[in-house]
A and B are shown apart, each in its own frame.
Chain A
């Protein structure tokens, strides 16, 4: 019954979404107050209905209602409760419902927090949001229904269980975070389309778009970091990024979103680069759509997967074509009607942000081509199979990233409109000095053997130190009394602090990547109880082995002691689990964190000589995830900036208007 209610709510939500699209857009075109006003309540109603449907599916999973095909195919009574719930989005149908739920949530949030948005803009934004809902809800209801029942006389007693490598806390929350990021860009997209319809983009528009973009970007950053963290400790290969198409699918919107974040600043502060910003908003969401479908449609497995499931394939293509094609046509037709604003010299804050945007977009394009080239090749050569591997991505992406990373500390030092490059660089001398010292120290310690790595580390230090120098300059550290500096630190705008934190995070990511990939130690060998493996100055001693029973798996567990200078300092367990529902094995890595890096112990099978054990020592690899947290935290701090709070935009607009009247 509850399942049918959920299904019914979903169909109703579709109807409401149609209403939410047509009426406000028509109203905005006609200038009718009454028609535009329905947008908000329609968005809220749609959210309530979609949430009901989502809750109904969760209910079916929690109660293991195997008469629902989707539950039967992906759940099992022996699964812990958390994974019953997360099982909802571990499959295609459920994840699409999650997507729409987040979309409806964002729609409701716009409706609630946009009191001071111009009425026609609000109506149009919600109308466009509604149209995205229409497409996705129609897709779910017609060809991807999670509520489909199995005939009553054939209801199975037990579900098939889900892929056990998904049974993991990090992966449980990876899809919701990632989707919040993808879907968050829909808001920027809706604002961009609405602005094209209105024919007007101004600083107030950018002030509206930026927090939503920032929120989406923060979610996406966390989602990607969590996914890579999961790959690191669950796959048991010691790697954290494989340039796999599903990973690239999330990286592309992140790159475009990062570019959008930066160009929206220019629109907000200087009222220029508007057309470009609109285009980026469209591209960021288009890449999010492509990302969703790349992973979920099976097109990655093969172009022919579309032929296996033509209904879904064609539907998905239609959605992509409509939103991406449609928005580009609208863009081409209307972009020229947007008035451009302030002028700027090539060397200026605006100029630096343009360079950032060019590099970001170029790297997104490089990833895009590398990811989709095998698909195009397969289609063109009638089934020829190629892969574009890590070397391609490392080369192109790496080359494009180096100048971008070098410029990170310089950009914030430049003034708007026209800047003095040498004055800016002079301020960065302390950062450059620290970076140089680090590089020389590394070269001296390793007697020059890892020259490139030394440069890489210097680059990371340069970014971190550059962000700190910028902050120090802002609070007049050492140039004013300590009390003044402290007060300035307390009053520092959230946006400035957020930027510094995010840039620092990027620097930490660079440091983590370079250090762990250069000095990674890897030992793979078979050992018996009592034997040791040495890595990273630690000794890993195999102590015992036994069988352990989990809720829905049997594990072969190995116990290791970690010794330093012959003394036991830690112990670690490493497991190989065989899951009962599907009989599928997974690896549970034993992971010990030290200040100098991670010790990573994974076990394999028994061979003639003993147990195969992999030990990795990954120096400073944790900096990568700490860096990602810094970036996300920077996003949050920036969001909390007073200027973004409700009501402030109105006051600022009033002030601007007053100033405009004066001049």
Chain B
């Protein structure tokens, strides 16, 4: 069997199968989108993109995804720290629950937020009494994005934290560094690659989120309509070229982020 696998024909066959799979499943659809967006020529592509509703949707998505990512960087770094550095009852359970947002259908997430933050819920009433509404407004979109991208930063930071050598911290203490100084000068730099790559993944995932967002976003063009919902709307109203133009923008954005993540990670392994 192993001899057979080693033969040139087999290895050639395997490689071609993988390549074909990759081309059919990933490359073709992506090229298709680029093709579709340009089907009406450059001018109509630019028209589709300069349509205020389109670029407003993209801009809003980027803005909200950025807010969600910043929240996750702060909370995720702290959670990762607590889950690796402290020992307390329930830690293991908490640790395994971190991955839950990955496992849940995003529509369920949307529904959960709908029920939790709706005008008739306790949180909704409390927000009402303060004079603002969460649901169908931007805060609800951010909450949905934060929930869905929660695991990224934690899971990227944890292995780095476990890797840190306790004697590195002790060395800093013997040289006179306080605990705070040691954290910022020694521990945080060690965690930085994880925070960065986790943040970038969370950001690109938040950009792309549809299921959770569509249920809680108000879908008011220019104010609470995010890009993915806009694309959906354009398809529904039979404007595939407009949908494709926005898709291409998001896709290009995601590519850049992926490349950045890769760059950060290879720089880390080179160390």
A binds B: no
A-binding residues in B (CB < 8 A): none
